[in-house]
Amino acid sequence: MNFYKLIVAISCCFFTGSSLAQSDNNPPAKQYKFALYAGVGPNIYFNNLVVAKNYVHELNYSFSGRIMWEPGHLLSLGIETGYYKMYSVNDKSQSDVNISNAIVPFQLVVGMKFLKTFYCDFSAGQSLLINKVSTPDNENISSTSYSLGDFGLSVGYRRQVKERISISAEAKLFYSSQLNDKNMALLFIVGYKL
């Protein structure tokens, strides 16, 4: 008889353990591991030219795009590219000769979040330099070369507006080692988590 009472008591323990008053049936929030970021904004060129220094237009524009792997920790990794117009030269005294220099980077990025909404990114890699010269006689000269030791450093503020969409503003310093070119961009960025 005591054996039956013991079986009934153990059975009651199993039933009461599985029938709690409240259970956590809410599914966990989906973790998005990858994110795409695209940005645009003005930049200023730190003029280091010797020839035609006074004719340089230092204020230009930049486009930036990156894909980041964000595993939910403070650090993230990714790849970045873009289009940075470094400077343009327009010398009216030389028969309307126009010269422009732009950079297309291909870089690896390491990012880190701090203070919950602020982040900094460090990028390093190669860049494609695009130089164009145009004259009024329709003599257009275009040349490209590679810069192998370029890097960028950015600090920004990111705000999540929806579950997958974020907006950011960042200040980005870019350095190209081939011609010792530097610029500072203010980028406005939209992010989308994949």
pLDDT digits 0-9 by tens, 4-23:
676 666 766 665 555 555 55
Are 57 and 87 in contact, with CB atoms under 8 Å apart?
yes
Helix, coil or strand: residue 95: coil
For the segment 29-52, the average pLDDT, to the nearest whole number, is: 88
Six token digits for residue 180: 């010792």
Percentage of the residues of the chain whose pLDDT score is greater than 90? 61
DSSP string spanning 108-141? EEEEEEETTTEEEEEEEEEEEEEEEEE-TTS-EE
Alpha helices in the chain (DSSP H): 2-18
Instruction: For Cα atoms 190, 192, 193, give the angle at the middle one, nearest 5 degrees.
Output: 145
Residue 9 φ then ψ, to 5°: -65, -45
CA distance 146 to 160: 37
- The full set of domains in the chain, from first to last, is 32-193 (2.40.160.20)
Q: What is the pLDDT of residues 68-113, one digit of tens each?
A: 999 878 899 999 999 999 999 886 666 678 889 999 999 999 999 9
CA distance 160 to 173: 24
CA distance 100 to 50: 15
- Tell me the sheet residues that pair with 155: 120, 171
Six token digits for residue 188: 């406005």
Q: Is the dihedral of CA 144, 149, 153, 159 positive or negative?
A: positive
List CB contacts of 53: < 8 A, sequence separation 6 or more: 47
pTM: 0.80
